[in-house]
Structure 1
Amino acid sequence: MSVLVVGLSHRTAPVALLERVSVSGDALVKLLHDVQQDDHVAEAMVVSSCNRVEIYAEVDRFHAAVTGVSQLLSTHSGVPMEQLASHLYVHYEDRAVEHLFSVGSGLDSMVVGEGQILGQVRSALRLAQEEGTVGSTLNELVQQSLRVGKRSHTETGIDRAGASLVGVGLTLAERALGPIQGKRALVVGAGSMSALTAATLQRTGVTDIVVINRTHDRAVRLAQTVGGRAAEFGDLTAELAEADLVISCTGATDVVITPDMLTPRAMFLLDLALPHDVDPAVRRLPGVTLINLESMQDGAIVAATDDGGLAEAVTAVRGIVADEVSAYLSAERAARVTPTVVALRSKAAQVVEAELGRLVSRVPEIDGRVRDEVTQTVRRVVDKLLHEPTVRVKQLAESPAGDHYAEALRELFNLDPKVPDAVRRVETVDTKPSKREAGL
């Protein structure tokens, strides 16, 4: 089994396409199960955020799995494969591990170093665990990617060099409006991104914060956490007329803010939603500035985040990722050879017991003390003979071609390949639910 990644992101696809492919809620759960039920997939996890949709899978066939997973992404999004294919990227085995560690460290984010991706990966893993679509392979890999991401942020300045989407948006807002302290801010939506936005505004020194949401109770709860005020969703147009800074991130499938709801004046709108919350046509209104994910993708983000320390931080994080990938792959390759070593020692033990049994049948009068001494001597001889090759094969297994050494060991000693497989099953039975056990 090997790890496969199939996905698209802000690096390979326009925002309009990402909007169509992005999944959440019940649709995300359905995609997760459909991927895991593919004949060539054992485990599955889906990361779906505002600038990436990625499917992580443990697979037994590369080409067949790529075809199946890609087709499922096309089917669920409604985007024809011929339109989707040119925007997809595929990572396999070592490259899949490197990609996930880079994603978790913020190297692959639209805003380099942003920390939200760690929460998104963690949420994706939690959902897959709850739905029973991950086992030991993806669980261990993703947990390690979270540790690598945390280490990258702790040991380098990448989280300071590359702020979050919200932080960068507020930087751009100050360029358009001047200092935002003293401005009225309107937060449209009450989800996790809106909560982050409200908290960031408060830390920045904005004291006049209004939160508006279709579910008013959620707006009230969020507003209370930042000392702001909640407004009814029906008053959106009136609140827009009083706001200087608007940050919108709802789960709506259609635009929430249109040109006819705004008056031409100095006003900054930050649209962090996918699909868009704000009609891009508002840019035609005098004085109105709109920044959305697409405009960030086009380069505004670079100018807002490169404070001179970014390049140094990125270099440091890349070094951490390279070291962690190497360590992970070495440990994983060493673990692969363990069942073969167990099979070899098991076969040796069987040979010893058979020969000792034959000795007893041929010389039944042998003294019990002598028999015990012979038994211990034979076992010590076998252990010493096996010690060096088993230690060496574990060491050699950590190299990129390590699997070949285990294969050579099985061939030289005529080991039953089913024995290592049985050992693997025993090792993972408590952590890797079968599709039947997962209720699929």
Structure 2
Amino acid sequence: MAKGNKPNHRRFGNIRQLPSGRYQVSYLGPDGRRRTGSETYERKGDAERALTLIEAKMISGEWTDPDRGKVKLKDYAETWISQRPGLRPRTVDLYTWLLKKHITPYLGGVQLGKLSTAMIRQWRADLLGNGVSVSVAAKAYRLLRAVLMTAAEEDHIIPRNPCRIRGAGDEHAQERPVLTVAQVFELADLVGRRPVGNVRKLKDNAYRLRFQRHGEMRTHPEVFRTRADAERALWAMGMDGRADCTQDRRFRALVLLATFASLRWGEVSALRRSDLDLIAGTVRVRAAFVERSTGELVLGPPKSKAGRRTVGIPQAIVPALREHLATYVQDEPGALLFPGAKGGPLRRSGFNTRTRWVDVVKEMGLPGLHFHDLRHTGNMLAAESGAGLKDLMARMGHDNVRAAMIYQHAVRGADKTITDAIDRHISGAGDEDEGGSAAVLIPVG
């Protein structure tokens, strides 16, 4: 019998009438502390029904402490991110940014216990109404749903997760281009094309462009407002033959290997000389670089457990890799396979700038092509080999197959079948009409 109850009175909780005439409930929680209901009731029967519901939740294990529900969403979510196990650095950066940019300004000051589905539906509508993309809104919603799922199911702060909006967390991936083999080799050559010339700043802060044509240096008749404008003009002149060009081949092997071995940027940029075995025709993926929002580069494991893998290399690109090793890579086994300008890790921004990636892919008729689309192209070529799903997942480094299968997977077995199929694609590319095959769009699943 609860403290304060008289014989033949309520078995659970107390009801008292306030000076206003309304009724208020109180009860002992599982920890022995007395709680007072936050609501009052016009009729005593309503108060009795409220106590009955509270008791039923305690019996079923669904009761949540209303005092704990007073914690604000911002504080709880920040703690959730800091304590979440296994989050990769870039995921932490993404969650922190989503919370600060798209969740806290709207819901950060709301107590967890007062969040409702209607409130969250309005929050999402406000995001979309303020111009936030469907993709970013979906990411923010999924983060909020995960945070509140922990609050409901693990910490028992709220009775249930109020994120119950059908389809709010869905993202519909855009179709990404798949390059032909001929386009991959064209791209590998174009990223190393360098027009011969220079840009000089004038006294009036304009820029003068000089370029080489048939071995002779000439001055461009136009004066450019910015250095970037002058550099773009020089690059365009190199592409259409109005300026002489040299060929820097340091990134050629990178493009070919990333494509035909289905490597992520972080994986290919972390490769060492010892990871490449040209005799066996394999590349070993052991680590990956991750660039934080602060600009810090962090070397860690690949994106997933399945990311640690050994992948076969098509023989058709081995000569390019052998040339790269001899020309651009130091002799030490631990030397970076694709170092940056000063010998350190190659950053994606540095790669894009030095290769003029945006201009190159636009010149090829593929504006908006991402580096990651090279991996997508390699995956599609591998899929066309006819190999089974599990072997394909092993090659691609996806973790929706058992990790043990990755280590048991024999490079000379199923993966060699995939590699040989890609080799046939490359070898057959020479039979294609140079102006024929255009990139096709394949949905990314």
| Fold match by TM threshold 0.5 | no
If you compute each CA radius of gyration, which structure gives the higher value, 1 or 2? 2
The two structures have a TM-score, normalised by structure 2, of 0.25
